[in-house]
Amino acid sequence: MPSIDNPTEKTLAALAINDPLAIEDLFAMEKSRFDKQLAAKNPDEVNYTLMKNAWLGRKAGVLTLITENWLKSASPTLKPIVGQSLNQLKHHIEGSLEIFRIAAEKTSEEIASARERVDLSLPGVIRTIGSHHLIRQVFQEIEDIFFSIGFSVVEGPEIETPYYNFEALNIPEFHPVRDDMDTFYIDLPKGAPTPLLLRTHTSPMQIRTMEKRQPPVRVIVPGKIYRRDNPDATHSFMFHQVEGLAVDTDITFCDFTGTIEYFVKQFFGPGVKTRLRPSYFPFTEPSVEFDGSCIFCGGSGTAAGGGTCSKCKGAGWIELFGAGMVDPAVYGFVNYDAKKVSGFAFGIGIDRLAMLKYGIDDIQVFFQNDVRFLRQFP
């Protein structure tokens, strides 16, 4: 900005300058003013344009002012000196600004390339890797155990018909065991061919498998199941089972108990004993409940510090799951000849087994997705 005191806004006469030496001084002052201004600025494009306009700008640049105010009105004797000095100053300014412009270009390139540069010596970004949910891990443990003795995996629909969930498993409508398996029914349009429900167990896959395959059948069925249960420490409206089914022409009760015992020892460790108690399921006959010796007190019923073991309540045994020899009535639903085939089935509650094995006392933690819980099972 030209100021009031700016000599370039006045004529030489007004400045009372009339000898060559004084003119040279005047130009030297302008030159050093320019040099100082330029030195104080960072070399970048904006500063370059500012300086160029201020000094070389056609309308109000310093050199234009000097031409107008000093040169044009200079006396004939001084004019050549003013003209020559003006040329030198112009030359100096143009040269310096060009150097400044090149420096500005270089720094902007450096900034851009620094921004793009990849520093391979920097530590990498550590991304946390997820892991399988404990329930899935337990599924896999169980699958591996049964794979090792010749079973394979089949999976089936979570939305089932009452026929597969109940009738074909020898549970007719109005049979009292349906009370334990109250479930969710799907709203269907009027006239739908069959009601649909969320399966209450993985057992319907016994039927679906036998409909498709002829014996020998050896399958396990991991999956989600649903019941109209209110959530508490041991109940959830959705949980998990692994169903098992083995049918052939010569399967005995010994094969059945031997298989279950093998599984229990593989899963809980060789020290665990098994026992069975009579039970009832409509689709097995005879039916049993398998118990394992309590893994917390070693089957003694006494806690480590004395007193009753809280896990088995002093019994020394913990109920594990239901099982049995396939009821011949079931074969009737799948066109197997009940006189020729025999087999066994079991239904393992995965959440319950996982809770026992890993000492978890609330089933709800499986479904709350709290990473503080999940991280304990990497």
Contact pick of 160, 243, 327, 351 for ligand DAH (by CB under 6 A): 243
Q: How far is the CB of 307 from ligand DAH (least distance, A)?
A: 33
Closest CA to 331 of 207, 150, 222, 223: 207
Q: How far is the CB of 355 from ligand DAH (least distance, A)?
A: 17
Q: And the tokens for 368?
A: 């709350």
* Residues 235/254, Cβ–Cβ less than 8 Å: no
Contact pick of 318, 345, 353, 363 for ligand DAH (by CB under 6 A): 345
Contact pick of 38, 93, 323, 330 for ligand DAH (by CB under 6 A): 323
Q: How far is the CB of 282 from ligand DAH (least distance, A)?
A: 9
Q: Is 351 helix (H, G, I), strand (E, B) or coil?
A: helix
The answer to whether residue 351 forms part of the interface with ligand DAH (CB under 6 A) is no
Contact pick of 322, 330, 334, 354 for ligand DAH (by CB under 6 A): 322
Contact pick of 260, 324, 352, 355 for ligand DAH (by CB under 6 A): 324
Beta strands 317-326 and 274-281: pairing type? unpaired
Q: How far is the CB of 238 from ligand DAH (least distance, A)?
A: 13
The answer to whether residue 201 forms part of the interface with ligand DAH (CB under 6 A) is yes
8-state DSSP, 187: P
Contact pick of 34, 281, 317, 366 for ligand DAH (by CB under 6 A): 281
Cα 123 to chain centroid distance, Å, stands at: 22
Q: CB within 8 A of 375, min separation 6: which ones?
A: none
Q: Which is nearer to ligand DAH, 309 or 330 (CB)?
A: 330
Q: CB within 8 A of 215, min separation 6: which ones?
A: 247, 248, 249, 336, 341, 343
User: E strand or H helix at 287, and its extent?
Assistant: strand 284-293
Q: Which is nearer to ligand DAH, 89 or 355 (CB)?
A: 355
Contact pick of 34, 263, 267, 346 for ligand DAH (by CB under 6 A): 346
Closest CA to 316 of 335, 297, 340: 297
The answer to whether residue 239 forms part of the interface with ligand DAH (CB under 6 A) is no
Distance CA 238, CA 223 (A): 10
Give me the residues that bind ligand DAH (CB under 6 A), please.
201, 203, 243, 281, 284, 322-324, 345-347
